[in-house]
Amino acid sequence: MSDPAANAPHHVAIIMDGNGRWAQQRGLPRLKGHEQGAESVRAVMKAARDHGVRILTLYAFSVENWSRPAAEVNGLMTLLPRFLRKHEHLLHENGTRLRAIGRLNDLPAATRKDLFRVMSDTESYTERQLVLALSYGGRAELTDAVQALAHRVRSGELDPEEIQPETITAHLYAPDLPDPDFMIRTSGEQRISNFLLWQLSYAELYFAPALWPEFREEQFAEAMRVYAGRQRRFGGVTSC
């Protein structure tokens, strides 16, 4: 039997779309969709491990999501700590480091407390990483990076002529992370919605028809099969 990790992407990023629609189709509150979606996170964490994926980045809450109804936002901010407390053991069992990117100071103090505790407790793990994009936006990340660079230029620490793509990367939220190889978006929508705008430059994109609460091990395996059939050229050419 072939090794499923042989052709696996090293870093997979996922836009977890469709929780609200899943709930509405069933006459349920939107928060129920998010709760069911949390179970898909657990399933996909396992599937990613089984397929040899080392880094999994999940678009959990965007900067634009703060404009949603207060009840939904508050529910999401309490759902995250509950999920961490319930599934933290999986991170330890699988040697997975939890990280977060975004404007984390925007999160409620109680949410940050649980998030930072689990991040601290898992920071020594090197086998795998789970990265949560929280209060995250690609334009916000680039804006923050440009502001940091501008401060360095103004202080005389950095010459504008020295700024290269690598310089910008070094000022992103997690500059040590390799760019995603593969981006998955669920629910059939075909856009990247302000997600990892810099990092997705050469990623393979895959748009799954399933709503996120329906995206489980089988759907992840299908995405991996599609990726295995892709040919990544990074702007170059390959022989036929």
DSSP states of 142-188: HHHHHHHHHHHHHTTSS-GGG--HHHHHTTSSSTTSPPPSEEEE-TT
| Class of the domain covering 11-228 | alpha beta
Task: Give the pLDDT confidence score for residue 231 in this predicted structure.
Answer: 82
CA atoms within 13 A on the CB side of 192: 18
pLDDT by residue (tens digit) across 122-163? 999 999 999 999 999 999 999 999 999 999 999 999 999 999
Task: Note the pTM of the prediction, 2 decimals.
Answer: 0.93
**Active-site annotation holder among 7, 65, 94, 194:** 65
H/E element, 59: strand 55-62
Residue found under tokens 């810099």: 198
Which residue from 32, 17, 24 is spatially nearest to 215, judged by alpha carbons?
17
CB 132 within 8 A of CB 99: yes
Q: With the C-alpha atoms ordered 200, 21, 132, 141, is the resulting torsion angle positive or negative?
A: positive
Q: Strand, coil or helix: what is 32?
A: helix
Q: How far from 233 is each of 96, 108, 206, 239, CA to CA, in Å?
A: 30, 43, 17, 11
pLDDT digits (tens, 9 = 90+) for 36-77: 999 999 999 999 999 999 999 999 999 999 999 999 999 999
Nearest-CA neighbor of 45 among 34, 62, 58, 33? Answer: 58
CA distance 159 to 172: 19
> For position 7, what pLDDT does the model report?
77
175-211 tens-digit pLDDT: 999 999 999 999 999 999 999 999 999 999 999 999 9
Quick one: what percent of the chain has pLDDT higher than 70? 94
Name the average pLDDT for the chain. 94
Assess whether 17 carries a catalytic annotation.
Answer: yes
More confident residue, 240 or 165: 165
Predicted confidence band at 1 (pLDDT cuts at 50, 70, 90)?
Answer: very low
**DSSP-derived pairing of the beta strands 96-101 and 128-136:** parallel
Q: What is the C-alpha to C-alpha distance for residues 57 and 97, in angstroms, rounded to an integer?
A: 12
